[in-house]
């Protein structure tokens, strides 16, 4: 109990004092997560909407696969990226292993199915409501796709936020492909794992606080923004 | 309606049936619709009026029989007709943007859209609400906006599915006046209703339906003074049971 109290105090000191290492780690974490969520959204939103709107052979299978891949184990994804990017792997020539780029790739692959699966559900429900009207006006599924994504924007923000949450909290994949190298690929989650195993609880705990704080404030901010815009546009 | 476009009417239904989950909802429907008179599909709930409208508009395909546009412009039939639904779907954008979206789907050039949107809003009496989000408009305003949206497309045929079923008397009147504007533009009106008063006011010709079948077709005047079928007589007496 005494240790925990000490840890809290030290953690607070690190945060308030903007400890240099801490700031660097937080900054890299945000960079990696935000970039991967952006990439995953660019791929996942249209992908999910396409599975919702187009009828093709294997359509049901695609929907099932998306849903199943929502829960992809990060360590397995990490391992696959590791094998692909390692010197002897197919993409080894790019020398991306143990760089932030590799971490971004791994997280984007993890999150894309999550965003796509949630998007599919949202867009499918909306299409049920809009289909007759849009077809009557002259829009087929291809033309309806951007329209539905835009009209579902508030619900889809939740899907993107879920992706962001998964990215910031994830540790297995970034540990494997990033390697947790000090000043290069060390992010909040990998640091927490490392410092905990070393017994340096204050830094681990401080990062834990910040991780939760970031998650809460970004989600809260997004919620309030959506609420504000929704109230103006209905 | 653009006078230079070749006509898509007449529309012919021949032996049209529609089945869903083993139930025959539309049974051997044959009739022809020509340009001119306002056509009202009348009948009790469940008579198959809305399905018939959807079959005509091409939103659903018949299980048997054919739906054919017979005019010289038939190849462009879908682009020259429009439909207003009982509960209109408004996109999450302004009233004006809902109109220009519809125009963009019909490839109306950007330079023309703004004027057409303004004109349609004006006709519907919605100009002051142009920049309001469409979804916060009242039910009556949304229905007028839906008709304005359809009217802006300059359709040769406008289908209306119970356009006033959920509206109060004042809104109903506003919607009926707006339908009058559409008629003046030269469009053919085909609408469904179960409201006898409305059918009297708007129906130049009545197609009376019951249990998925066309029971009687007559001019409005004749239908309401001397219905030929016992079902129609019973419907008007309020004693037709489904």
Q: Per-residue pLDDT averaged across A166-186, rounded?
A: 93
pTM of the model: 0.88
Could you tell me if B133 lies within 8 Å of chain A, comparing CB atoms?
yes
How far off is chain A from B113, nearest CA to CA, in Å? 15
| pLDDT higher than threshold 70 for residue B2 | no
Give the domain CATH number at B150: 3.40.50.300
The domain total for chain A is: 1
Please report whether residue A129 resides in a domain: yes
| pLDDT higher than threshold 70 for residue A64 | yes
Of B78, B88, B136, the CB nearest to A138: B78
Could you tell me if B82 lies within 8 Å of chain A, comparing CB atoms?
yes
Which pLDDT belongs to residue A9? 83
The whole domain housing B163 covers 11-236
- With contact defined as beta carbons under 8 Å apart, do A112 and A160 qualify? no
Burial A203-216 (b: 16+ CB within 10 A, else e): bbbbbbebbeebee
Please report whether residue B2 resides in a domain: no
pLDDT digits (tens, 9 = 90+) for B91-112: 999 999 999 999 999 999 999 9
Query: Strands of B64-69's sheet, edge to edge?
Result: B23-33, B11-20, B64-69
Of A137, A233, A234, the CB nearest to B105: A137
Please report whether residue A209 resides in a domain: no
User: Could you tell me which chain A residue has the CA closest to the CA of B79?
Assistant: A138
Contact A233 B78 (CB under 8 A): no
The ipTM estimated for the assembled molecules is 0.92
Task: Report the share of chain A in percent with pLDDT over 70.
Answer: 98
Give the domain CATH number at A52: 1.10.3720.10
Count Cβ–Cβ pairs < 8 Å, chain A vs chain B: 44
| pLDDT higher than threshold 60 for residue A234 | no
Which pLDDT belongs to residue B25? 95
Q: Per-residue pLDDT averaged across B56-70, rounded?
A: 95
Which pLDDT belongs to residue B242? 57
Chain B residues in contact with A129 (beta carbon < 8 A): 89
Chain B residues in contact with A132 (beta carbon < 8 A): 54, 59, 85, 89
Chain A residues in contact with B87 (beta carbon < 8 A): none
Which pLDDT belongs to residue A205? 85
Number of CB atoms found within 10 A of residue B76's CB:
15
Please report whether residue A228 resides in a domain: no
Task: Report the share of chain A in percent with pLDDT over 90.
Answer: 72
Which pLDDT belongs to residue A105? 96
pLDDT digits (tens, 9 = 90+) for B129-162: 999 999 999 999 999 999 999 999 999 999 999 9
Contact A137 B133 (CB under 8 A): no
| pLDDT higher than threshold 60 for residue A1 | no
How far off is chain B from A135, nearest CA to CA, in Å? 7
Of B59, B78, B93, the CB nearest to A132: B59
Please report whether residue A225 resides in a domain: no
Chain A residues in contact with B158 (beta carbon < 8 A): none
Please report whether residue B241 resides in a domain: no
- With contact defined as beta carbons under 8 Å apart, do B9 and B33 qualify? yes
| pLDDT higher than threshold 60 for residue B83 | yes
Please report whether residue A118 resides in a domain: yes
| Cα–Cα distance measured from residue A107 to residue A61, given in angstroms and rounded to the nearest whole number | 24
| DSSP string of chain B, one letter each residue | --TTSPP---EEEEEEEEEETTEEEEEEEEEEE-SSSPEEEE-STTSSHHHHHHHHHTSS--SEEEEEE-STTGGGGGGGEEEE-SS----SSBHHHHHHHHHHHTT--HHHHHHHHHHHHHHTT-GGGTTSBGGGS-HHHHHHHHHHHHHHT--SEEEEESTTTT--HHHHHHHHHHHHHHHHTTPEEEEEES-HHHHHHH-SEEEEEETTEEEEEEEHHHHHHS--SHHHHHHHTT----
Phi, psi torsion values for B9, nearest 5 degrees: -75, 160
Which pLDDT belongs to residue B62? 96
The whole domain housing A138 covers 23-189
pLDDT digits (tens, 9 = 90+) for B162-176: 999 889 999 999 999
Of A137, A150, A153, the CB nearest to B102: A137
Could you tell me if A151 lies within 8 Å of chain B, comparing CB atoms?
yes
For chain A, what is the radius of gyration of the CA atoms? 21
The domain total for chain B is: 1
Q: Per-residue pLDDT averaged across B66-80, rounded?
A: 91
Q: Which of B186, B160, B148 is nearest to B4 (CA)?
A: B186
To test the contact with chain B by mutation, choose from A133, A148, A228 the residue with the greatest count of B C-beta atoms within 10 A, namely: A133
Please report whether residue A7 resides in a domain: no
């Amino acid at each position: 109990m005494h240790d925990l109290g000490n840890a809290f105090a030290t953690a607070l000191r690190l945060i308030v004092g903007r400890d240099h290492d801490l700031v660097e780690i937080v900054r890299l974490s945000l960079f990696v997560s935000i970039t991967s969520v952006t990439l995953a959204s660019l791929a996942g939103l249209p992908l999910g909407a396409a599975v919702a709107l187009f009828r093709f052979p294997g359509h049901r299978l695609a929907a099932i696969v998306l849903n199943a891949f929502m829960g992809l184990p990060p360590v397995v994804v990490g391992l696959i990226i590791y094998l692909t990017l390692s010197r002897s792997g197919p993409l080894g020539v790019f020398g991306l292993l143990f760089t932030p780029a590799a971490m971004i790739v791994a997280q984007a692959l993890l999150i894309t199915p999550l965003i796509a699966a949630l998007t599919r559900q949202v867009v499918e429900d909306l299409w049920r409501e809009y289909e007759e009207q849009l077809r009557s006006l002259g829009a087929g599924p291809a033309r309806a796709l951007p329209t539905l994504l835009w009209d579902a924007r508030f619900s889809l923000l939740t899907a993107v936020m879920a992706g962001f949450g998964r990215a910031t909290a994830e540790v297995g994949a970034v540990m494997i492909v990033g390697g947790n190298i000090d000043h290069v690929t060390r992010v909040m989650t990998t640091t927490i794992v490392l410092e905990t195993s070393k017994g340096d609880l204050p830094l681990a705990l401080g990062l834990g606080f910040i991780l939760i704080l970031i998650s809460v404030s970004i989600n809260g901010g997004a919620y309030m923004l959506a609420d504000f815009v929704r109230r103006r546009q209905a | 309606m653009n006078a230079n476009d070749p006509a898509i009417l007449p529309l012919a239904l021949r032996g049209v049936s529609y089945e869903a989950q083993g139930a025959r909802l539309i049974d051997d429907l044959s009739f022809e619709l020509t340009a001119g008179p306002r056509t009202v599909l009348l009948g009790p709930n469940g008579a198959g009026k809305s399905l018939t409208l959807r079959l005509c508009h091409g939103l659903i395909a018949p299980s048997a029989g054919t739906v054919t546009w017979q005019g010289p412009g038939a190849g462009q039939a879908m682009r020259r007709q429009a439909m207003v639904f009982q509960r209109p779907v408004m996109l999450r954008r302004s009233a004006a943007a809902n109109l220009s979206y519809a125009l963009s789907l019909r490839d109306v050039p950007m330079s023309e859209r703004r004027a057409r949107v303004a004109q349609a809003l004006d006709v519907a009496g919605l100009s002051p609400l142009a920049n309001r989000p469409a979804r916060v408009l009242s039910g009556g305003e949304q229905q007028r906006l839906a008709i304005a949206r359809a009217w802006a497309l300059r359709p040769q045929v406008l289908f209306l599915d119970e356009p006033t079923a959920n509206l109060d008397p004042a809104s109903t009147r506003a919607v009926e006046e707006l339908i009058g504007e559409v008629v003046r533009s030269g469009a053919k009106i085909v609408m469904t209703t179960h409201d006898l008063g409305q059918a009297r006011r708007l129906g130049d010709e009545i197609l009376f339906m019951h249990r998925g079948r066309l029971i009687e077709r007559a001019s409005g005047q004749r239908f309401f003074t001397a219905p030929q079928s016992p079902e129609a007589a019973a419907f008007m007496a309020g004693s037709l049971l489904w």
